[in-house]
Amino acid sequence: MAVHTLFPPSSLKSSFHQTRPPLSRPSPHRVTVIHCIHRPDSVHFVNGVGYTRADWQSSCAILASKVLSHQQPTDHTSGDVSSGTDHVASVNGHKTAIDLSLVPIKKEATESTNNGKLQKPLTITDLSPAPMHGSQLRVAYQGVPGAYSEAAAGKAYPNCEAIPCDQFEVAFQAVELWIADRAVLPVENSLGGSIHRNYDLLLRHRLHIVGEVQLPVHHCLLALPGVRKEYITRVISHPQALAQCELTLTKMGLQAAREAVDDTAGAAEYIAANNLRDTAAIASARAAELYGLQILADGIQDDSSNVTRFVMLAREPIIPRTDRPFKTSIVFAHDKGTSVLFKVLSAFAFRNISLTKIESRPHRNRPIRLVDDANVGTAKHFEYMFYVDFEASMAEVRAQNALAEVQEFTSFLRVLGSYPMDMTPWCPSRGD
């Protein structure tokens, strides 16, 4: 069932965004350039921070454009400081490296006061990229209004314009094509585990992780008004939501087939649009409200501590800092047998850097390696990409040293992002 072909009722409005049909995949425009570290030479640590010369030039351009503006936007949990309103010249989606000697010096910029107020000195945060349009940050998410990803977008960037996309791939492309400034992507859940497909997408695209948010997820069982549990023969939802509620659904005695669809709110919308009286959706209370469904059961996740972790993606990385807890996400591959993994992990252990996550995925380009052993014959080894999150900022020397060492052991290494950790105290709540 392709719920993603449906469009939400145009009359519905969300609190922090305007409801609009989800973006669908544009004409086949696949970005194939991956900003990655292929050993040994392409990583640049400029002043102890892992950026290329182009990144640094972009920062200089932004600095130039911001000299006359001292507005410092902030955002809630992400620490992503790039959500301001300043405009920077762009060519083909890249900020131009403006020749600083050509920047006109306005009179007030040279004076110590501006309208009687002391001018604030620029800080490192001013060097982060800014959106290219008006004041509202546009955040792409997969799903329709009422999806948890939309709530995550609102938590990460309050007052953002949330842009629904019918597929994750489209959310990535929306950012790459400058239709959106950020994408929000669920990567793991405390009950259902990793969302593997999204790890693969992180590798296939060249966006940078610029923040994370953790969202308590509170699932409801929704059906058309008047429908009773006994009539339900089918429950539809996002595969993660089905997995997170499996035990509860069984305990409820529902004799219903489970069917996976693209997103939770899309399931609710599908039932409403097709007047399905034998089908229930697992989705948020907000989805019930938006699509006119009743809540048959509230809080049906198998454990109340059900939290999903989302990452925010941008075209440019943020500049890592040391004044608050940071996390760094990397992906690597190796071609020298299993002991490499041990060596890589010890590079972090020796420096007291805690790992918060390790995930392996099949190596897409080289899933199998044949090993010839004279005694035993030919063996097939599976090859993996390893995703590791560790608790340190790339601005810290110990993290730079750990990565330099990791690079020694690996055939491929890419820093997906170094970003502030979501430190919001956790409380099980209605996460919708």
Ligand X SMILES: O=C(O)C(=O)Cc1ccccc1
Give CA–CA dist 144/7, Å, rounded.
Answer: 8
Sign of dihedral through CA atoms 320, 322, 328, 334? positive
Burial class of residue 121 (count of CB atoms within 10 Å of its CB; 0-12, 13-18, 19+) = exposed
Residue 241 touches ligand X, criterion: CB under 6 A: yes
Q: How far is the CB of 308 from ligand X (least distance, A)?
A: 4
Give CA–CA dist 150/139, Å, rounded.
Answer: 9
Residue 149 touches ligand X, criterion: CB under 6 A: yes
Residue 205 touches ligand X, criterion: CB under 6 A: no
Site string for ligand X, 284-313 (x = CB under 6 A): ------------------------x-----
Q: How far is the CB of 35 from ligand X (least distance, A)?
A: 26
Q: How far is the CB of 149 from ligand X (least distance, A)?
A: 3
Q: Which is nearer to ligand X, 143 or 320 (CB)?
A: 143
# chain residues binding ligand X, by CB under 6 A: 14
Based on the residue annotation, tell me whether 409 is a catalytic residue of this protein: no
**Structure tokens of 60?**
């200089």
Residue 276 touches ligand X, criterion: CB under 6 A: no
At 252, give phi and psi (nearest 5°).
-70, -10
- Single residue of 22, 186, 211, 317 touching ligand X by CB under 6 A: 186
- Single residue of 248, 264, 279, 418 touching ligand X by CB under 6 A: 264
Q: Which of 310, 326, 332, 386 is catalytic?
A: 310
Residue 173 touches ligand X, criterion: CB under 6 A: no
State in Å, rounded, how far the first CA of the chain is from the last one.
25
Give CA–CA dist 170/175, Å, rounded.
Answer: 9
Q: How far is CA 292 from CA 12, 17, 283, in A?
A: 11, 19, 13
Cβ neighbours of 192 (radius 10 Å):
22
- Single residue of 194, 240, 248, 410 touching ligand X by CB under 6 A: 240
Q: How far is the CB of 176 from ligand X (least distance, A)?
A: 20
Q: Which of 19, 264, 308, 328 is catalytic?
A: 308
CB 233 within 8 A of CB 255: yes
Based on the residue annotation, tell me whether 342 is a catalytic residue of this protein: no
Burial class of residue 81 (count of CB atoms within 10 Å of its CB; 0-12, 13-18, 19+) = buried
Q: Which stretch binds ligand X (CB under 6 A): 27-35, 91-99, 258-266, 420-428?
A: 258-266
Q: Give the CA dihedral 267, 272, 274, 280, nearest 10 degrees.
A: 50
- Single residue of 95, 138, 155, 238 touching ligand X by CB under 6 A: 238
CB 175 within 8 A of CB 186: no
Query: Could you give the angle at which helices 196-204 and 168-176 cross, rounded to 10 degrees?
Result: 30
Length of the chain: 432
Q: Which stretch binds ligand X (CB under 6 A): 41-49, 56-64, 233-241, 374-382?
A: 233-241
Give CA–CA dist 297/310, Å, rounded.
Answer: 26
Element spanning 264, H or E: helix 264-274
**Residue 114 is which amino acid?**
N
Q: Which stretch binds ligand X (CB under 6 A): 69-77, 124-132, 259-267, 422-430?
A: 259-267
Secondary structure (3-state) at 182: strand
- Single residue of 263, 269, 316, 422 touching ligand X by CB under 6 A: 263
- Single residue of 16, 148, 348, 412 touching ligand X by CB under 6 A: 148
Q: Which stretch binds ligand X (CB under 6 A): 96-104, 118-126, 234-242, 334-342?
A: 234-242
Q: How far is the CB of 422 from ligand X (least distance, A)?
A: 15
Q: How far is the CB of 115 from ligand X (least distance, A)?
A: 45
Q: Which is nearer to ligand X, 350 or 426 (CB)?
A: 426
Give CA–CA dist 1/8, Å, rounded.
Answer: 16
Residue 194 touches ligand X, criterion: CB under 6 A: no
Hey, which residues are catalytic here? Answer: 308, 310
Binding site for ligand X (CB under 6 A): 143, 147-149, 186, 189, 217, 238, 240-241, 263-265, 308
